Amino acid sequence: MAMTNDNKSVCVIGGGISGMTTAIEAAEIGYEVYLIEQSPSLGGRVAQLNQYFPKLCPPQCGIEINYKRIRINPKVRYFTLAEVERVSGEPGNFTVTLRLNPKYVNEKCTACNKCVEVCPVERSSSFNYGMSQTKAIYLPHEMAFPMKYVIDGTVCQKDQCAKCVAACPYGAIDLSMQPKKLDINVNSVVLATGWSPYDAAKIDNLKYGIYKNIIRNVEMERLAAPNGPTHGKIVRPSDNKEIKKIAFVQCAGSRDENHLAYCSSICCLASMKQATYVRSQYPDADIYIFYIDIRATGRFEDFFTKVQADNKITFIKGKVAKVLEDSQTNDITVVAEDILSGKKIYTTVDMAVLATGMVPNGLTAAMPSDIVYDEFGFAVSDLQTPGIYATGCAKKPADVAGCIQDATGTALRAIQTRVGV
Ligand SMILES: Cc1cc2nc3c(=O)[nH]c(=O)nc-3n(C[C@H](O)[C@H](O)[C@H](O)COP(=O)(O)OP(=O)(O)OC[C@H]3O[C@@H](n4cnc5c(N)ncnc54)[C@H](O)[C@@H]3O)c2cc1C
Ligand code: SF4
Ligand code: SF4
């Protein structure tokens, strides 16, 4: 199957906040846009946050408006559960080859949930970073766009079961769906593939995945979220105990030659934001933030000042050397040298949160070989690859507002691409 245009067209790869913004801006100027997302829903990592700094509004605030602009604009064609197999060609005339993976659920789905009630198979929820389960047929999340259920073909028992097919009142399930290929022809390509959390299990001294009460910042977002695994109650994983003391470990693997040599720029703010989540649920909890330097510049300084004013939030300047676990209570002791006092300190807490950094999601194999990545895997968007532009966290770690600004500029560059430009 192939789709061709008069070449006033852009292909945006990645349907997070950056990709959605580029797509909408280009479409609202009159360009045909193909928005390609590998997961079953648009929204990216922002949909997994509980609130955004600095205003602490829920992700619905920013994402719903983008969903609406996509829904009402026929110039944006979006494909979810879609993979890019190859990008070839030249500025003004690229061919993007897609593999559209089967969802096994068609457009008739009304999101009534009757299929979930009968499905016997469970799978780990990637939306909740494995902290909960879904059925093999599931809604990607409460805010999903499109608001359609999808079947995880890797675990579904298909025709040996088919209970969901019988239960669906709308004939929306088709277990025989197959992957499809699609070639699209576009003027320019935008890489908005975003980021993934650093694999904290690689940081030997911080014992992620070994001690139950050590979690990552991304998991804290899900724990605090009303649609998360604990329905928004922040409790520690080992025993669901309420929190009296909690530590945030900054630069967990970041600014470290052995892991991520760069600063992800948002992790300090993310931990301060998460400290406010803890405070709103536990007015008396002691909160410790172990840091090397706090990165909260420009308009974010006010947020830092506000968090510092809480006299039960203690900032300790010192890199965490190790963590210990009490085998009886599963409490965690964080060991660090307090640079300001020069003393080695041992702080025992119910739970510790690792502020792990952002790793770029590459698309190296599918892209033309002349696309340039920096030493850390972020795409370099410059004149070396005319017609292919990177945006948002595919280019560098950034907050949502920074990504939106960048993505708007990227849309302007993308629509100006002509043959040979
Ligand atoms: C713990 C934490 C808390 C944060 N809190 C805040 C906050 O409070 N405020 C704030 O402003 N920022 C916050 N951020 C930063 C925020 O998450 C990013 O700014 C935002 O996610 C960047 O959006 P993006 O679209 O560039 O990338 P992403 O959100 O990663 O979206 C990329 C999309 O591309 C898709 N994709 C990837 N590869 C492919 C492929 N090959 N083909 C098709 N699709 C693909 C992905 O599935 C995803 O949907 C936080 C970050 C962390 C780590
Ligand atoms: S697939 Fe059918 S049963 Fe399941 S939510 Fe959609 S309409 Fe309801
Ligand atoms: S066919 Fe698959 S999705 Fe449907 S009920 Fe059975 S296991 Fe679940």
Helix pair angle (217-224, 267-281), 10° resolution:
30
Global pTM reads 0.95
Taking residues 387-407, what's their average pLDDT?
Answer: 94
> In whole numbers, what is the pLDDT of the chain averaged over residues?
93
263: its two tokens: 């600063």
CB-ligand 3 contact for 157 (6 Å cutoff): yes
Residue 420 banded pLDDT, cuts 50, 70, 90: low
- Mean pLDDT is lowest, of 86-90, 113-117, 158-162, 223-227, for 86-90
CB-ligand 3 contact for 244 (6 Å cutoff): no
Residue 383: is its pLDDT beyond 70?
no
CA distance 335 to 47: 34
Q: Tell which wins on pLDDT, 421 or 151.
A: 151
Looking at all shown ligands, the one closest to residue 254's CA atom is: 1
Where are the domains positioned within the chain? Answer: 2-101+179-194+361-415, 114-167, 199-357
Residue 6: is its pLDDT beyond 60?
no
Q: What is the pLDDT of residue 234?
A: 98
Beta strands in 206-331 (DSSP E): 214-216, 245-252, 286-291, 313-317, 320-325
Q: Fold identical between 2-101+179-194+361-415 and 199-357? A: yes
Rounded percentage of the chain residues whose pLDDT exceeds 90: 78
Q: What is the pLDDT of residue 382?
A: 64
Ligand 1 atom closest to residue 52's alpha carbon, by position in its atom list: 8
Q: What is the pLDDT of residue 7?
A: 67
Cα R_g (the chain), whole angstroms: 23
Q: What is the pLDDT of residue 258?
A: 85
Which has the closest alpha carbon to 246: 143, 161, 351? 351
Q: What is the pLDDT of residue 5?
A: 47
The architecture that CATH gives domain 2-101+179-194+361-415 is 3-Layer(bba) Sandwich (3.50)
Residue nearest to atom 2 of ligand 2 (CA): 168
Which has the closest alpha carbon to 152: 126, 114, 182? 126
- Mean pLDDT is lowest, of 36-40, 51-55, 92-96, 408-412, for 51-55
* DSSP 8-state symbol, 146: S
Residue 191: is its pLDDT beyond 60?
yes
Choosing from 266, 391, 395, 405 the residue with most ligand 1 atoms within 8 A of its CB, the one to mutate for a pocket test is 266
Q: What is the pLDDT of residue 294?
A: 80
Amino acid at 386: P
What H or E segment, with its residue span, contains residue 241? none
Q: What is the pLDDT of residue 384?
A: 67
CB-ligand 3 contact for 163 (6 Å cutoff): yes
Q: What is the pLDDT of residues 254-273, one digit of tens each?
A: 878 888 888 877 888 999 99
Taking residues 348-357, what's their average pLDDT?
Answer: 97
Residue 3: is its pLDDT beyond 50?
no
Domain topology for 199-357: FAD/NAD(P)-binding domain (3.50.50)
